[in-house]
Structure 1
Amino acid sequence: MTATLSVLFVACWSSGFIGAKLGAGSAEVSTLLMWRFLPLAAVLVPIVWLSARRRKTMPTPRALGRQVVIGILSQSGYLLSVYWAVDLGVNTGTTALIDGIQPLVAAALLGPVLGVAVPRMQWIGLAIGLAGVAMVTAADAGAGTSAPWWAYAIPFLGMLSLVASTFVQQRAPTSTPPLQALAIHCSTSAIVFTTLAIVSGAAVPPSVSTFWIALLWLIVLSTFGGYGLYWLLLRRIGITSVNTLM
């Protein structure tokens, strides 16, 4: 079961970069992200709230606050950086590769933060991966793309945001049910991105079909598939194994 979920996670997580590229040409970043999370929040919150009431598993204020922080870091911060970079002209493949050095950063922090030992062979593998990411990023930046040089730092910020959210989750004293956590994260992102869209005057969705295709892609494959499986596998196999899959 875990092996099957791992394969699905790799496919769904990678699909998010394709969805970002599909949506980038049809709407503003804030518009796309607003309409990605508003329907999710509208559907998930009532279902999860009724279920929690029936089972008496309502989160405590402290647990709720922790999940809001995790949602801001892992969804709002991470996704805004990825979509912004793609919108600025950074190649989606390069963005995905930069995101791929997350295991190296997470592994470097495992010891001091969580007290987990990292095998030497894993360090060697991650170092080789980092070298590959650096080479590809440098080649892409020097290939005369439309993206300004500083745009390549934005995916790094998003990657750090996701790493931070993972450690916040791992240090939680109690476990929040996955669907409940997903509802809190999506609601938080819906508030953040709706506010950004309204302030920037980009709340009205375009009528072009590519926007809605990208939206459906992102909701089904990226949110329920990639993001949902990320937290589920984190509980099953741990941070090191999940980051290796990434």
Structure 2
Amino acid sequence: MTATLSILFVACWSSGFIGAKLGAGSAEVPTLLMWRFLPLAVVLVPIVGLSARRRNTMPTPRALGRQVVIGMLSQSGYLLSVYWAVDLGVNTGTTALIDGIQPLVAAALLGPVLGVAVPRMQWVGLVIGLGGVAMVTAADAGAGASAPWWAYAIPFLGMVSLVASTFVQQRAPTSVPPLQALAIHCSTSAIVFTTLAFASGAAAPPSVNTFWIALLWLIVLSTFGGYGLYWLLLRRIGITSVNTLMFLIAPVTAVWGALMFGESFTPFTALGLAVGILAVIVVTRVDNRPKKQDEGTDSCPARASITSR
């Protein structure tokens, strides 16, 4: 059962990058993101709000404000960078791989800030992971991709946004229930992207079927499938194992994008993805050392903040 759930999780999480590509040709980025999160906010806020009142678990104004900031960083800022990069022509696999090294960057850079000891091999893993990203990016750019050279920097901005959200999350004195946090994050994104869509004059949804298929794809597979399975697996197998699964997303996305959209997938791309997986193995061996810590919590700085793709 756990193996099946793990496969579904990787597929659903990867589907977010594919859905971004699917919707890129049918609407502007703010339009697609506005209509992705507006229905989610309308559905989630009343349900979660009513449940919180009944259980007397409403967040304090300070906790609410912190979750808004986390949502803007881990969801709004991150997804805007992903969709923008894909819309400009960056391959979905390349974008997924750059996102995939976020746990390595967070563990290496935020560990000292948060007072967590960072083993030397985690730094080694980060360097190897960055090497894999460089190889895949070079293969993507050299295969005649339509994206301008500067577009490859955009996913890195999203990764920085994720790292910043991890820092804010780890500094929080109290935790917020996952569904409650999801409702706050989706509402924040709905406000951000609705504002952007109206400001750019692109709020009206297009009438083409591709747009609505992409929206259904993103809401069902990426948000509910990816995010829901993440929390389910976190309780079943722990954060270290889930983080390991996250690194399978880049190769799955790269193959999926090549098959579905004809994106480039060269031997050099495969080599770069293999190097990225090697980085995971290096870091995972460090994380799997015996320790007296509950792996079902978000105490690991490598992936404390999770966004719905």
Question: Equivalent pairs: percent with the same residue?
Answer: 93
Q: d(CA) in 2 for partners of 1:174 and 1:107?
A: 21
Q: What is the DSSP-based 3-state SS (H/G/I as helix, E as strand, rest coil) of the residue aligned with 2:150?
A: helix
Q: 1:174: how far off?
A: 0.8
Change (3 A) 1:162 1:243: farther
Q: What is the DSSP-based 3-state SS (H/G/I as helix, E as strand, rest coil) of the residue aligned with 2:71?
A: helix
Q: What is the DSSP-based 3-state SS (H/G/I as helix, E as strand, rest coil) of the residue aligned with 2:145?
A: coil
Q: d(CA) in 1 for partners of 2:126 and 2:7?
A: 20
Change (3 A) 1:160 1:243: farther
Unaligned runs of 5+ residues in structure 2 are 247-309
Q: 1:40: how far off?
A: 0.2
- Whether the 8 Å CA contact 1:20–1:214 is kept in 2: the answer is yes
Q: 1:79: how far off?
A: 0.3
- Whether the 8 Å CA contact 2:108–2:126 is kept in 1: the answer is no
Q: d(CA) in 1 for partners of 2:172 and 2:112?
A: 16
Partner in structure 2 of residue 59 of structure 1: 59
Change (3 A) 1:151 1:187: same
- Whether the 8 Å CA contact 2:67–2:181 is kept in 1: the answer is yes
1:119-139 per-residue CA deviation (whole Å, 9 max, x = no partner) reads 555544443332121111012
Q: d(CA) in 2 for partners of 1:92 and 1:112?
A: 32
Change (3 A) 1:164 1:232: farther
- Whether the 8 Å CA contact 1:97–1:133 is kept in 2: the answer is yes
- Whether the 8 Å CA contact 1:76–1:189 is kept in 2: the answer is yes
Partner in structure 1 of residue 148 of structure 2: 148
Aligned residues: 246
- Whether the 8 Å CA contact 1:107–1:240 is kept in 2: the answer is no
Change (3 A) 1:157 1:2: farther
- Whether the 8 Å CA contact 1:30–1:197 is kept in 2: the answer is yes
Partner in structure 1 of residue 207 of structure 2: 207
Greater shift, 41-50 or 5-14, is seen at: 5-14
Change (3 A) 1:119 1:226: farther
Greater shift, 172-181 or 6-15, is seen at: 6-15
Greater shift, 27-36 or 88-97, is seen at: 88-97
Aligned-CA RMSD value: 2.3
Relative to the length of structure 2, the TM-score reads 0.73
Change (3 A) 1:103 1:130: same
Q: d(CA) in 1 for partners of 2:91 and 2:3?
A: 30
Greater shift, 6-15 or 194-203, is seen at: 6-15
Greater shift, 228-237 or 29-38, is seen at: 228-237
Structure with bigger helix share is: 1
Q: 1:238: how far off?
A: 7.1
- Whether the 8 Å CA contact 1:38–1:190 is kept in 2: the answer is yes
Q: 1:165: how far off?
A: 1.2
- Whether the 8 Å CA contact 2:108–2:122 is kept in 1: the answer is no
1:95-123 per-residue CA deviation (whole Å, 9 max, x = no partner) reads 11111221221121242123333455554
Relative to the length of structure 1, the TM-score reads 0.90
Q: d(CA) in 2 for partners of 1:105 and 1:151?
A: 21
- Whether the 8 Å CA contact 2:29–2:87 is kept in 1: the answer is yes
Q: d(CA) in 2 for partners of 1:164 and 1:3?
A: 32
- Whether the 8 Å CA contact 1:103–1:126 is kept in 2: the answer is no
Q: d(CA) in 1 for partners of 2:220 and 2:68?
A: 22
1:207-230 per-residue CA deviation (whole Å, 9 max, x = no partner) reads 111111110111111112223455
Greater shift, 150-159 or 11-20, is seen at: 11-20
Change (3 A) 1:60 1:47: same
- Whether the 8 Å CA contact 1:110–1:118 is kept in 2: the answer is no
Q: Map 1:92-171 to 2 at 5 A.
A: 92-171=92-171
